[in-house]
């Protein structure tokens, strides 16, 4: 096929020899199957912010530090330079996340190169060598749904131990190759320690997985992994090997308003008695 405009610079530089066919187009990027030498891989061409359907990225950008003060000021002001830098930061976030998570043992596509807004990475294939399907394309037996759910929760834990939360995890962002689930699409990943929204994003990721796998194994719908994982993380006890049950009891005992008001009244009366006593001493 004719190379799309976004891939042409890579062909000119000899990084890609041929565009075989489109693989998918999503809210953030268009993905193509390409050949470079004897290797077949993916080329993910990011869309601009004007083209993306995923524009509300405030809660994701909060967890990203920009060390260069000039860039940070420009991004805050929304100048043309600032917008360009924000786009660059958005795209580089996935590249950085893939390298970090691959090193941490998370099942993600292996990144190969990144140039001119195009990410070259491993093509994830199924047992027959065809491009791997997304979870959303599968109908799973209950036992396999439980197995995959347990594995994905383990990957979420491993990601958090590496300092990241996916932030947009769903059945559309997980592929299934010959060995099981592979997590994809990470430009919105946030650094757990730097964001006020970390638990909210973690909980949503885990709830999305429970909702999907719960179609095939309904008992997964009542699991509470997000609270269990977060509790361990906040205590500094979370590791990739932490045993999880999916159960967690929060202290949800409602405060007794009557008792609280009585304590306030008693404190007020004590204060008045002390004041009256002090005033009596002054009169003496």
Active-site annotation holds for 96: no
255 occurs within a structural domain: no
What's phi and psi for 4, nearest 5 deg? -65, 160
| SS3 label, residue 89 | helix
CATH of the domain at 136: 1.10.510.10
Show the domain range for 166.
8-234
248 occurs within a structural domain: no
**Pick the catalytic residue: 185, 266, 282, 284?**
185
122 occurs within a structural domain: yes
Estimate the share of the chain in helix, then strand, then coil, as percent rounded to the nearest 5: 45, 15, 40
50 occurs within a structural domain: yes
pLDDT of residue 283: 55
pLDDT in tens, the chain (284 residues): 899 999 999 999 999 999 999 999 887 899 999 999 999 999 999 987 655 444 445 544 555 454 555 544 444 555 554 455 566 666 788 999 999 999 999 999 999 999 988 999 999 999 999 999 999 999 999 999 999 999 999 999 999 999 999 999 999 999 999 999 999 999 889 999 988 999 999 999 999 999 999 999 999 999 999 999 999 999 999 999 999 999 988 665 544 666 666 666 666 776 676 666 566 655 55
pTM, full prediction? 0.77
254 occurs within a structural domain: no
pLDDT of residue 257: 61
pLDDT of residue 28: 81
283 occurs within a structural domain: no
223 occurs within a structural domain: yes
> Which residue stretches of 80-238 are H helix?
80-103, 142-161, 198-213, 225-234
Contact 20, 13 (CB under 8 A): no
Active-site annotation holds for 266: no
Domain total of the chain: 1
22 occurs within a structural domain: yes
How far apart CA 70 and CA 5 sit, in angstroms, is 31
**Pick the catalytic residue: 168, 205, 207, 251?**
168
């Amino acid at each position: 096929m004719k190379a799309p405009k976004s891939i042409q610079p890579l062909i000119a530089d000899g990084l890609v020899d041929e565009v075989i066919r489109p693989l998918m187009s999503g809210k953030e990027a268009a993905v193509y199957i390409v050949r470079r030498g004897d290797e077949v891989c993916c080329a993910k061409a990011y869309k601009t912010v004007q083209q993306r359907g995923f524009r509300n990225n405030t809660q994701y950008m909060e967890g990203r530090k920009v060390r260069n003060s000039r860039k940070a000021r420009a991004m805050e002001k929304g100048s043309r330079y600032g917008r360009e830098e924000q786009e660059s930061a958005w795209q580089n976030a996935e590249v950085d996340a893939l390298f970090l998570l691959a090193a941490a043992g998370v099942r993600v596509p292996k990144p190969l190169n990144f140039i001119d807004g195009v990410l070259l990475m491993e093509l994830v294939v199924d047992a027959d060598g065809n491009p791997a399907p997304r979870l959303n394309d599968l109908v799973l037996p209950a036992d396999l749904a439980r197995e995959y759910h347990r594995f994905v929760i383990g990957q979420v834990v491993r990601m958090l131990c590496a300092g990241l939360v996916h932030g947009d995890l769903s059945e559309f962002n997980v592929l299934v190759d010959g060995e099981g689930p592979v997590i994809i699409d990470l430009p919105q990943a946030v650094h757990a320690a730097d964001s006020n929204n970390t638990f909210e994003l973690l909980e949503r990721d885990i709830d999305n997985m429970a909702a999907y796998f719960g179609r095939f194994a309904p008992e997964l719908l009542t699991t509470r992994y997000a609270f269990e994982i977060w509790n361990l993380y906040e205590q500094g006890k979370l590791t990739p090997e932490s045993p999880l049950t999916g159960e967690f009891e929060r202290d949800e005992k409602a405060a007794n308003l009557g008792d609280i008001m009585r304590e306030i009244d008693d404190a007020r009366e004590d204060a008045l008695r002390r004041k009256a006593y002090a005033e009596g001493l002054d009169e003496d």
